[in-house]
Amino acid sequence: ETGVTQTPRHLVMGMTNKKSLKCEQHLGHNAMYWYKQSAKKPLELMFVYSLEERVENNSVPSRFSPECPNSSHLFLHLHTLQPEDSALYLCASSQGGSADTQYFGPGTRLTVL
Amino acid sequence: TQLLEQSPQFLSIQEGENLTVYCNSSSVFSSLQWYRQEPGEGPVLLVTVVTGGEVKKLKRLTFQFGDARKDSSLHITAAQPGDTGLYLCAVGPGGSYIPTFGRGTSLIVHP
């Protein structure tokens, strides 16, 4: 248990569906992150939120829409995805500022049919 | 060009063997982290090194931060099947909020 939970753990969706991934951190951190990890590829940073404000959007397609309603919760809303979007989506949190350590959730394994 | 270069990319060894994996950069860092990721799970922090020349031990794992704080190594003694996983080095996010990960070393330890 790292103090970061993600739901669902597995998700299968069609290209026309709309779904959301949820992340919750119980560590009192003030920064949260979404990553995409595809097979045999390095971790790709998608979004960064600090104090509920988006500070980085790494040229992610608009079919991915993040939401950070408070410092403990982070969502990734998905719509009209493509099969190449199938991947492990990881959420992480950190204390932010000068702190360097990230704590990851277990991930959501997404399959787009 | 990757900020952090990890080598080797893949490693397949027998139980009981020793191994070393590397994380190199041309940049200087205030600290560096090592993570292990098992298939289908998120990365789990193993250690953070902050001082040039620092050596940290975690059971059979020995981590070293280079004197110039540009590189790091992870040595595993008498590897076990439970050590199987993807070993990632990372720096940041620090004040920029932008962390950087290496591509990782995928280790398989055969019984």
Say which range, A85-89, A96-100, B86-90, B91-95, has the weakest mean pLDDT.
A96-100
**pLDDT band with cut points at 50, 70 and 90 for residue A95:** confident
pLDDT of residue A66: 95
The verdict on a CB contact (< 8 Å) between A4 and B88 is no
pLDDT of residue A41: 79
pLDDT tens track for A67-76? 999 999 999 9
pLDDT tens track for A28-43? 998 899 999 998 778 8
- The stretch A41-62 carries a mean pLDDT of 85
Q: Would you say residue B62 has pLDDT above 80?
A: yes
Structure tokens at A80: 């009209």
Nearest residue in chain A measured CA to CA from B97: A96
With a CB-CB cutoff of 8 Å, which residues 21-40 of chain B face chain A?
Answer: 30-31, 33, 35, 40
CB–CB of B86/B69 below 8 Å? Answer: no
Q: Would you say residue B49 has pLDDT above 70?
A: yes
The verdict on a CB contact (< 8 Å) between A102 and B44 is no
**CB contact, 8 Å: B47 with chain A?**
no
Q: Would you say residue A23 has pLDDT above 70?
A: yes
**pLDDT band with cut points at 50, 70 and 90 for residue B34:** very high
pLDDT tens track for B65-95? 999 999 999 999 999 999 999 999 998 766 6
Q: How many CA atoms within 13 Å lie on the side-chain side of B75?
A: 9
pLDDT of residue A37: 93
pLDDT of residue B96: 66
Percent of chain A with pLDDT over 90: 67
Mean residue pLDDT across chain B = 91
The verdict on a CB contact (< 8 Å) between A42 and B104 is yes
pLDDT of residue A53: 82
Q: Which residues of B74-105 are buried (b: 16+ CB within 10 A; e: fewer)?
A: bebeebeeebbbbbbbbbbbbeebebbbbbbb
| DSSP secondary structure of A20-31 | EEEEEE-S--SE
Mean residue pLDDT across chain A = 90
Q: Would you say residue B1 has pLDDT above 90?
A: no
The verdict on a CB contact (< 8 Å) between A99 and B104 is no
